Amino acid sequence: MSDGPGIIVDETGTQRLVGYVLDVGQPDRLARCRLTVGEAHTNRHGVLHGGIAAVLLDSACGATASLTVDETGRQPFLTISFHVDFIGAGRPGGVTATGRVTGGGRSLLFVSGDLMHDDGTLVATASGVFKRVPPSILTDVPR
Protein backbone atom coordinates (compact mmCIF):
# COMPACT_ATOMS: atom_id res chain seq x y z
CA MET A 1 0.00 0.00 0.00
CA SER A 2 1.49 3.33 -0.99
CA ASP A 3 0.67 6.89 0.03
CA GLY A 4 -1.59 8.73 -2.35
CA PRO A 5 -5.24 9.23 -3.25
CA GLY A 6 -7.57 7.07 -1.22
CA ILE A 7 -5.16 6.63 1.71
CA ILE A 8 -6.71 7.62 5.05
CA VAL A 9 -4.34 8.19 7.98
CA ASP A 10 -5.10 9.43 11.51
CA GLU A 11 -8.77 10.19 10.75
CA THR A 12 -10.30 8.70 13.90
CA GLY A 13 -9.22 8.25 17.48
CA THR A 14 -9.19 4.49 17.02
CA GLN A 15 -7.04 4.77 13.92
CA ARG A 16 -4.53 6.96 15.76
CA LEU A 17 -4.52 4.70 18.82
CA VAL A 18 -4.01 1.44 16.92
CA GLY A 19 -1.88 2.92 14.13
CA TYR A 20 -3.50 1.42 11.04
CA VAL A 21 -3.83 2.95 7.58
CA LEU A 22 -7.05 2.67 5.57
CA ASP A 23 -6.82 2.35 1.78
CA VAL A 24 -10.08 3.15 -0.04
CA GLY A 25 -8.49 4.05 -3.38
CA GLN A 26 -8.05 0.71 -5.15
CA PRO A 27 -9.73 0.07 -8.53
CA ASP A 28 -11.48 -3.06 -7.20
CA ARG A 29 -13.42 -0.85 -4.70
CA LEU A 30 -12.41 -3.07 -1.77
CA ALA A 31 -11.17 -1.24 1.30
CA ARG A 32 -7.97 -2.43 2.93
CA CYS A 33 -6.84 -1.80 6.47
CA ARG A 34 -3.06 -2.13 6.94
CA LEU A 35 -1.09 -2.43 10.17
CA THR A 36 2.51 -3.19 10.98
CA VAL A 37 2.15 -5.42 14.05
CA GLY A 38 4.48 -4.39 16.84
CA GLU A 39 4.75 -5.09 20.54
CA ALA A 40 1.89 -2.68 21.34
CA HIS A 41 -0.50 -4.85 19.29
CA THR A 42 0.31 -8.24 20.76
CA ASN A 43 -1.16 -10.32 23.56
CA ARG A 44 0.75 -12.11 26.31
CA HIS A 45 1.71 -14.84 23.81
CA GLY A 46 3.45 -12.37 21.51
CA VAL A 47 0.90 -12.55 18.67
CA LEU A 48 -1.65 -10.05 17.37
CA HIS A 49 -4.36 -9.47 19.97
CA GLY A 50 -7.77 -10.69 18.79
CA GLY A 51 -9.38 -7.35 19.58
CA ILE A 52 -6.94 -5.55 17.30
CA ALA A 53 -7.61 -8.10 14.54
CA ALA A 54 -11.34 -7.44 14.94
CA VAL A 55 -10.80 -3.66 14.73
CA LEU A 56 -8.88 -4.05 11.46
CA LEU A 57 -11.54 -6.32 9.97
CA ASP A 58 -14.44 -4.11 11.12
CA SER A 59 -12.76 -1.01 9.67
CA ALA A 60 -12.05 -2.67 6.31
CA CYS A 61 -15.56 -4.11 6.07
CA GLY A 62 -17.27 -0.84 7.05
CA ALA A 63 -15.19 1.17 4.58
CA THR A 64 -15.93 -1.38 1.85
CA ALA A 65 -19.65 -0.90 2.55
CA SER A 66 -19.11 2.86 2.32
CA LEU A 67 -17.44 2.51 -1.08
CA THR A 68 -20.71 1.19 -2.51
CA VAL A 69 -22.25 4.66 -2.17
CA ASP A 70 -19.28 7.04 -1.77
CA GLU A 71 -16.07 6.94 -3.79
CA THR A 72 -14.16 8.49 -0.88
CA GLY A 73 -15.18 5.66 1.48
CA ARG A 74 -16.27 8.16 4.13
CA GLN A 75 -20.07 7.70 4.06
CA PRO A 76 -20.77 6.28 7.53
CA PHE A 77 -22.05 2.73 7.96
CA LEU A 78 -22.83 1.28 11.38
CA THR A 79 -21.87 -2.25 12.32
CA ILE A 80 -25.10 -4.09 13.16
CA SER A 81 -23.53 -7.49 13.76
CA PHE A 82 -20.02 -8.81 13.39
CA HIS A 83 -18.48 -12.26 13.71
CA VAL A 84 -14.76 -13.08 13.67
CA ASP A 85 -13.09 -16.48 13.30
CA PHE A 86 -9.43 -16.64 14.30
CA ILE A 87 -7.54 -18.97 11.98
CA GLY A 88 -3.81 -18.40 12.53
CA ALA A 89 -1.39 -16.37 14.60
CA GLY A 90 -0.80 -12.75 13.61
CA ARG A 91 2.92 -12.53 14.14
CA PRO A 92 4.88 -9.27 14.14
CA GLY A 93 5.15 -7.78 10.66
CA GLY A 94 2.54 -6.53 8.26
CA VAL A 95 -1.11 -7.57 8.16
CA THR A 96 -3.88 -6.40 5.84
CA ALA A 97 -7.64 -6.74 6.29
CA THR A 98 -9.72 -6.62 3.11
CA GLY A 99 -13.52 -6.27 2.97
CA ARG A 100 -15.83 -7.71 0.31
CA VAL A 101 -19.58 -7.06 -0.11
CA THR A 102 -21.46 -10.37 -0.33
CA GLY A 103 -25.06 -9.14 -0.46
CA GLY A 104 -27.66 -6.72 0.80
CA GLY A 105 -29.84 -3.90 -0.40
CA ARG A 106 -30.23 -0.14 -0.08
CA SER A 107 -29.72 0.22 3.66
CA LEU A 108 -28.18 -3.07 4.88
CA LEU A 109 -25.11 -4.72 3.41
CA PHE A 110 -23.51 -8.07 4.17
CA VAL A 111 -19.73 -7.82 4.11
CA SER A 112 -17.03 -10.42 4.66
CA GLY A 113 -13.38 -9.85 5.38
CA ASP A 114 -10.02 -11.60 5.48
CA LEU A 115 -7.00 -10.62 7.56
CA MET A 116 -3.78 -11.80 5.94
CA HIS A 117 -0.18 -11.64 7.14
CA ASP A 118 2.34 -10.42 4.56
CA ASP A 119 3.72 -13.96 4.30
CA GLY A 120 0.33 -15.18 3.00
CA THR A 121 -0.91 -16.69 6.28
CA LEU A 122 -4.63 -16.25 6.86
CA VAL A 123 -4.97 -14.79 10.35
CA ALA A 124 -8.75 -14.31 10.65
CA THR A 125 -11.99 -14.06 8.71
CA ALA A 126 -15.09 -12.03 9.48
CA SER A 127 -18.65 -11.50 8.38
CA GLY A 128 -20.94 -8.67 9.31
CA VAL A 129 -24.05 -6.68 8.62
CA PHE A 130 -23.61 -2.95 8.06
CA LYS A 131 -26.31 -0.26 7.98
CA ARG A 132 -26.04 2.93 6.00
CA VAL A 133 -26.34 5.98 8.25
CA PRO A 134 -29.14 8.23 6.96
CA PRO A 135 -27.87 11.75 6.12
CA SER A 136 -30.40 13.26 8.54
CA ILE A 137 -28.66 11.56 11.47
CA LEU A 138 -25.28 12.94 10.44
CA THR A 139 -26.38 16.52 11.09
CA ASP A 140 -27.14 15.63 14.73
CA VAL A 141 -23.74 14.06 15.47
CA PRO A 142 -21.19 16.38 17.10
CA ARG A 143 -17.84 16.47 15.34
- Domain membership flag for residue 143: no
- Give pLDDT tens digits for 6-33: 999 999 999 999 999 999 999 999 999 9
Which string of DSSP letters, residue by residue, matches 33-89?
EEEEE-GGGB-TTSSB-HHHHHHHHHHHHHHHHHHTT-TTS-S-EEEEEEEEEE-S-
Q: Is 22 exposed, middle or buried (0-12, 13-18, 19+ CB in 10 A)?
A: buried
This prediction has a pTM of 0.91
| Model confidence band, residue 106 (pLDDT cutoffs 50, 70, 90) | confident
Report whether 31 contacts 22 (CB < 8 A).
Answer: yes
- Domain membership flag for residue 1: no
pLDDT at 142: 54
pLDDT at 2: 42
Number of domains in the chain: 1
Structural element, H or E, at residue 16 = helix 13-18
- Domain membership flag for residue 94: yes
| Model confidence band, residue 3 (pLDDT cutoffs 50, 70, 90) | low
pLDDT at 60: 98
